[in-house]
């Protein structure tokens, strides 16, 4: 039987796994699922329509599954879906999705969301992402696997952060962040390539060297157009998936609106979002430059 403190309030429609822990003064609302070995420490609020997987830990005064902060929202049934092994620290807020954004906010596995971070409606966070204190994700932001987000960084709605990207603290991010690169500043600008995270996630030395070369040619050298440089990199590194992901991301951003590929979802263009903007699986895995 689940360990539920007598001061906790559990809605009759909620489902709590037999080996989950619900600590003092927690509130678990309607249509909530708390998965195996998940721990709600104390004073945690799960408002409604939330599915939590296994081995998650939610810290005091975190509040998830709340109503989306969207003026178009009219009380439709939408969801928050969280995977396994996530640590959601104190005062983190995560809101449910909207019908215009697909009906769900989704967070994958193995993520760390530090104190005071906010994940708005319809965001998509992949796996093994580190989000530092007081980071603000506006609606519809996508973050790829292995990304690292510095404290107090703020993201415009519909921004995409690629796999293994690093966003510096206090960055103001209004455009897509390409995978494997480093951005910082206000507005955020590309500063380098994230060889440290690539190494941690098992990328080969050849792949790391290829991304380093791609970064220098794309953002540090004058001469050929960006289109020409991308074509040359694709031809030279035919077997390096990371270089192709980087090139694909740049093409998608350029074809989007205001440097945001996902912004097309708000336009009359109903084409599907390019696959490179979906979170990458773990297995797939300076100089000032253009704004990100």
List per-block mean pLDDT (blocks of 10 residues) for the chain, which spans 292 residues.
96 98 98 98 98 98 98 97 98 97 97 99 98 98 98 98 98 98 98 97 98 98 95 98 98 96 72 44 39 58
Q: Is 43 a catalytic residue?
A: no
pLDDT at 267: 60
The active-site residue, picked from 139, 144, 150, 192, is 139
Which residue is catalytic, options 70, 84, 109, 122?
Answer: 122
Q: Structure tokens of 206?
A: 């050849």
pLDDT of residue 42: 98
121 is catalytic: yes
CA distances 267 to 15, 57, 137, 270, 275, Å, are 39, 38, 21, 7, 19
pLDDT of residue 277: 41
Instruction: Note the pLDDT of residue 291.
Output: 57
Whether 122 is catalytic is: yes
> What's the whole-model pTM score?
0.92
Rg of the chain in Å (alpha carbons) = 20
Q: Which helix (H) or strand (E) holds 228?
A: helix 226-236
- Residue 108 CA to its chain's centroid (Å): 9
Q: Positive or negative CA dihedral for 96, 102, 103, 104?
A: negative
- Between CA 217 and CA 194 the distance in angstroms is 16
Using alpha carbons, list the distances in angstroms from residue 113 to 56, 66, 150, 231, 269.
12, 17, 11, 38, 33
What's residue 292's pLDDT?
59
Question: Pick the catalytic residue: 49, 95, 121, 142?
Answer: 121
């Amino acid at each position: 039987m689940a360990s539920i403190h007598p001061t906790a309030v559990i809605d009759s429609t909620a489902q709590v796994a037999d080996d989950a822990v619900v600590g003092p003064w927690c509130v678990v609302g309607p249509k909530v699922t708390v998965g195996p070995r998940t721990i709600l420490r104390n004073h945690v609020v799960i408002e409604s329509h939330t599915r939590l997987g296994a081995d998650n830990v939610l810290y005091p005064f975190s509040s998830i599954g709340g109503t989306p902060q969207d003026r178009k929202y009219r009380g439709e049934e939408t969801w928050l879906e969280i995977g396994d092994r996530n640590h959601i620290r104190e005062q983190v807020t995560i809101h449910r999705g909207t019908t215009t954004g697909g009906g769900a906010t989704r967070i994958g596995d193995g993520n760390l969301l530090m104190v005071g971070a906010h994940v708005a409606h319809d965001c998509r966070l992949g796996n093994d992402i580190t989000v530092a204190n007081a980071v603000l994700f506006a609606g519809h932001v996508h973050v790829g696997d292995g990304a690292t987000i510095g404290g107090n960084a703020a993201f415009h709605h519909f921004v995409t952060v690629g796999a293994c990207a690093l966003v510096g603290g206090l960055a103001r991010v209004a455009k897509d962040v390409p995978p494997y690169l480093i951005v910082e500043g206000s507005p955020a600008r590309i500063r380098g390539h994230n060889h440290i995270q690539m190494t941690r996630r098992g990328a080969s030395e050849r792949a790391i060297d290829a991304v380093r070369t791609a970064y220098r040619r794309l953002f540090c050298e004058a001469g050929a157009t960006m289109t020409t440089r991308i074509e040359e990199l694709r031809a030279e590194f035919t077997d390096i998936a990371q270089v192709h992901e980087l090139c694909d991301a740049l093409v998608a951003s350029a074809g989007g609106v205001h440097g945001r590929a996902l912004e097309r979802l708000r336009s009359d263009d109903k084409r599907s979002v390019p696959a490179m903007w979906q979170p990458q699986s773990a297995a797939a895995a300076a100089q000032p430059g253009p704004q990100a």
